[in-house]
């Protein structure tokens, strides 16, 4: 393939002589650098040409970033540069387009609904509990039950000691706290507290019962079966004490000294008292063995109901315990073993002797299975 002939020049815009004369016509200024030429020194597309400096002054130097004096000037005037989408609808009216642009209502989530239901249920429970606590389950009746008839004043005193008050909530009544307050009074023994909903409380207590009396260092002490000192006096041998008419003398639950001698067991043979010799205190014997025998003996007599039958209990010799009954019999128990069986045997023998008319003498129950009787004077 052969190239163009020598002297061939392609036609350019501006060649008026299309036949080609060999001379190049002049090119006007607006035709210069149209398709070729050196690239501009500053490639920034937003720079204005040198022949339009007034545009350069008003154009921002940071168009893309919205920075500079131009953008600051427009922000101060309250202009915003957020593109708003035109309200256009596809085949619909402008009002339909506005409706479509309204935010859609979000459906109620099940989780949020469950939380609301839980909150409402909790509020209902709280209100119900409040009503039950302060309106329904209030204590309006307190009954005191003891082993004997008490005056209204004595019942009010026991209720005061228990700490139970009218209007208290019966559901929150603490039986352990009531017991602590009851036993803090040496005159009372706690048995139980019964709650009868919605508003009744039954307080069952027991007054300490005088079981025996003894003398030590010229003082007479009245005790219960647990060695609690219920009363004391130094005038137990005075004539007034014998008749029980001296008001200054000790009284135990309405009993004067003469009644105490006639109805309670006299304890003899106690070696010494170590402590607790004041009213409201628990007496402590110097001999721990004597104390243990005393408690066991009076417990078994209480169980068998024979305390009122015994007039005297001699604990001087623990291997040869002696009892004296109000029916005139002396009872030899031997040692402190099998006290329960020995007392039962004593009761059976005594009943048989009384039936046969044999009064007085000594009943031997060292061996409760083979008891024996000795007539008086033998």
Residues sharing a CB contact under 8 Å with residue 177, sequence separation 6 or more, in sequence order: 163
The predicted structure's pLDDT at residue 126? 78
Mean pLDDT of 93-97: 58
Percent of the chain with pLDDT over 70: 63
What is the average pLDDT value for the chain, to the nearest integer?
79
**Looking at the DSSP assignment, which residues form a beta bridge with residue 193?**
203
The predicted structure's pLDDT at residue 94? 59
pLDDT level of residue 378 (50, 70, 90 thresholds): confident
Q: Is the pLDDT of residue 97 over 60?
A: no
| Other beta carbons within 10 Å of 122 | 10
The predicted structure's pLDDT at residue 251? 64
∠ CA 255-257-262, rounded to 5°? 85
Range with the lowest mean pLDDT among 18-27, 161-170, 206-215, 279-288? 18-27
Q: How many CA within 13 A on the CB side of residue 254?
A: 7
The predicted structure's pLDDT at residue 154? 86
The two tokens of residue 110 are: 């099940």
The predicted structure's pLDDT at residue 80? 53
**Looking at the DSSP assignment, which residues form a beta bridge with residue 330?**
324, 362
CA distances from 24 to 4, 21, 38, 136, 227 (A): 19, 8, 21, 120, 148
Q: Is the pLDDT of residue 274 over 70?
A: yes
The predicted structure's pLDDT at residue 245? 46
Q: Is the pLDDT of residue 11 over 60?
A: no
Q: Is the pLDDT of residue 115 over 90?
A: no
By CB neighbour count within 10 A (0-12 exposed, 13-18 middle, 19+ buried), where does 158 fall?
buried
Domains of the chain: 141-207 (3.10.20), 212-374 (3.40.50)
Q: Is the pLDDT of residue 12 over 60?
A: no
Identify the residue with better confidence: 115 or 198. 198
Q: Is the pLDDT of residue 18 over 60?
A: no
The predicted structure's pLDDT at residue 114? 73
Alpha-carbon distance 258 to 243, whole Å?
A: 6
Measured over the CA atoms of residue 254, residue 259, residue 265 and residue 268, the dihedral's sign is positive
Express each pLDDT in 317-353 by its tens digit: 999 999 999 999 999 999 999 999 999 999 999 999 9
Q: Is the pLDDT of residue 86 over 90?
A: no
Q: Is the pLDDT of residue 43 over 70?
A: no
Alpha-carbon distance 330 to 317, whole Å?
A: 15
Identify the residue with better confidence: 79 or 27. 27
Residue with tokens 């909903």: 197
Range with the lowest mean pLDDT among 6-15, 210-219, 232-241, 368-377? 6-15
Mean pLDDT of 81-109: 56
Residue with tokens 């400096």: 53
Secondary structure string (H, E, C) spanning 146-175: CCCCCCHHHHHHHHHHHCCCCCCECCCCCH
Q: Is the pLDDT of residue 37 over 70?
A: no
Cβ–Cβ < 8 Å for 334, 323: no
Express each pLDDT in 122-168 by its tens digit: 887 877 766 566 667 889 999 999 877 778 888 899 999 999 999 88
The predicted structure's pLDDT at residue 303? 94
pLDDT level of residue 10 (50, 70, 90 thresholds): low
The predicted structure's pLDDT at residue 258? 80
By CB neighbour count within 10 A (0-12 exposed, 13-18 middle, 19+ buried), where does 228 fall?
buried
Alpha-carbon distance 206 to 191, whole Å?
A: 7
pLDDT level of residue 261 (50, 70, 90 thresholds): confident
CA distances from 296 to 45, 218, 288, 302 (A): 118, 26, 12, 10
Contacts made by residues 4-13, CB under 8 angstroms, sequence distance 24+: none
Cβ–Cβ < 8 Å for 203, 225: no
Mean pLDDT of 351-377: 94
């Amino acid at each position: 393939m052969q190239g163009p002939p020598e002297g061939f020049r392609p036609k350019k815009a501006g060649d008026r002589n299309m036949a080609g004369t060999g001379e190049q016509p002049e090119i006007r200024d607006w035709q210069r650098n149209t398709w070729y030429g050196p690239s501009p020194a500053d490639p920034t597309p937003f720079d204005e040409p040198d022949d339009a400096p007034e545009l350069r002054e008003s154009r921002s130097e940071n168009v893309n970033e919205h920075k500079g004096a131009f953008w600051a000037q427009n922000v101060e005037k309250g202009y915003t540069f957020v593109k708003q989408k035109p309200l256009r609808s596809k085949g619909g009216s402008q009002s339909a387009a506005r409706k479509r642009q309204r935010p859609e209502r979000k459906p109620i989530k099940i989780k949020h609904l469950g939380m609301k239901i839980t909150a409402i249920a909790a509020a209902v429970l709280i209100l119900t509990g409040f009503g039950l606590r302060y309106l329904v389950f209030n204590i309006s009746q307190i009954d005191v039950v003891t082993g004997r008839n008490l005056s209204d004043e004595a019942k009010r005193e026991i209720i005061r000691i228990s700490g139970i008050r009218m209007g208290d909530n019966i559901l929150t009544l603490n039986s352990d706290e009531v017991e602590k307050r009851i036993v803090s009074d040496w005159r009372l023994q706690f048995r139980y507290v019964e709650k009868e909903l919605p508003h009744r409380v039954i307080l069952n207590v027991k007054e300490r019962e005088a079981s025996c009396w003894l003398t030590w260092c010229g003082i007479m002490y009245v005790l219960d079966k647990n060695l609690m000192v219920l009363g004391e006096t130094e005038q137990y041998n005075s004539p007034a004490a014998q008749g029980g008419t001296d008001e200054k003398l000790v009284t135990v639950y309405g009993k004067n000294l003469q009644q105490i001698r006639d109805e309670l067991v006299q304890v003899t043979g106690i070696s010494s008292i170590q402590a607790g010799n004041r009213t409201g205190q628990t007496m402590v014997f110097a001999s721990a063995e004597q104390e243990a025998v005393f408690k066991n003996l009076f417990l078994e007599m209480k169980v068998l109901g024979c305390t009122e039958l015994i007039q005297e209990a001699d604990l001087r010799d623990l291997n040869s315990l002696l009892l004296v009954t109000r029916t005139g019999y002396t009872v030899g128990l031997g040692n402190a073993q099998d006290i329960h069986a020995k007392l039962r045997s004593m009761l059976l023998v005594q009943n048989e002797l009384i039936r046969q008319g044999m009064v007085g003498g000594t009943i031997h129950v060292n061996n409760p299975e083979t008891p024996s009787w000795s007539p008086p004077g033998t």
